[in-house]
Amino acid sequence: MISVTFKDSKSAEYEKGIKIDEIVGELGNKLRKEALAARLNGKIVDLNKEIIQDSDLEILTFDDEGGRLALRHTTSHILAQAVKRLFPDVKLAIGPAIENGFYYDFDTERPFADTDLEQIEKEMQNIIKEDLSLSRFELPRNESIELMKEHGEDYKVELIMDLPEDEIISFYKQGEFIDLCAGPHVLSTGKVKAFKLTSVAGAYWRGNEKNKMLQRIYGTSFIKKSQLDEYLKMLEEAKRRDHRKLGRELDLYSIQDEGPGFPFFHPNGMIIRNLLEDFWRKEHIKAKYQEIKTPIILGTDLWHKSGHWDHYKENMYFTEIDDEPYAIKPMNCPGGILVYKRKLHSYRELPIRMAELGLVHRHELSGALHGLMRVRCFTQDDAHLYMMPSQIKDEVIGVIDLVDYFYKIFGFDYFVELSTKPENAMGSDEDWQVATEALREALEAKNVKFKVNEGDGAFYGPKIDFHLRDCIGRTWQCGTIQLDFQMPECFELTYIGADGEKHRPVMVHRTIYGSIERFIAILTEQYAGAFPTWLAPLQVIVIPISEKQYEYADDLAKKLESFDIRVESDNRGEKVGYKIREAQLRKIPYMLIIGDKEVENSTVSVRDRKEGDIGSMNLEDFINKIEKEIKDKTN
Respond yes or no: is residue 431 known to be catalytic. Answer: no
Cβ(22)–Cβ(36) under 8 Å? no
Cβ(513)–Cβ(409) under 8 Å? no
Distances (CA, A) of 248 to 254, 524, 529, 602: 7, 12, 11, 37
Cβ(5)–Cβ(57) under 8 Å? yes
Which of 174, 215, 380, 539 is catalytic? The answer is 380
Respond yes or no: is residue 404 known to be catalytic. Answer: no
- Pick from 525, 541, 634, 530: which is nearest to 587 by CA? 530
Q: How far apart are CA 290 and CA 345, in angstroms?
A: 15
- Pick from 594, 557, 566, 564: which is nearest to 579 by CA? 594
Pairing of strands 43-45, 37-40: antiparallel
88: phi then psi, degrees, rounded to nearest 5 = -55, -25
Respond yes or no: is residue 463 known to be catalytic. Answer: yes
Which of 105, 116, 382, 484 is catalytic? The answer is 382
Q: How many residues comprise the chain?
A: 635
Q: What residues contact 268, with CB distance under 8 A and at least 6 apart?
A: 250, 251, 252, 537, 538
- Pick from 163, 209, 522: which is nearest to 372 by CA? 522
Tell me, rounded to whole angstroms, the distance of Cα 31 from its chain centroid.
Answer: 33
Cβ(69)–Cβ(94) under 8 Å? no
Which of 49, 308, 361, 384 is catalytic? The answer is 384
Which of 181, 243, 333, 478 is catalytic? The answer is 333
Respond yes or no: is residue 509 known to be catalytic. Answer: yes
Distances (CA, A) of 403 to 289, 399, 408, 409, 468: 14, 6, 9, 10, 11
Respond yes or no: is residue 380 known to be catalytic. Answer: yes
Q: How far apart are CA 101 and CA 234, in angstroms?
A: 14
Respond yes or no: is residue 382 known to be catalytic. Answer: yes
Cβ(537)–Cβ(566) under 8 Å? yes
Which of 241, 243, 284, 463 is catalytic? The answer is 463
Residue 64: burial class (beta carbons within 10 Å; 0-12, 13-18, 19+): middle
Which of 421, 509, 579, 586 is catalytic? The answer is 509
Which of 77, 84, 185, 362 is catalytic? The answer is 362
Q: How far apart are CA 635 and CA 628, in angstroms?
A: 12
Q: Which residues are catalytic?
A: 333, 362, 380, 382, 384, 463, 509
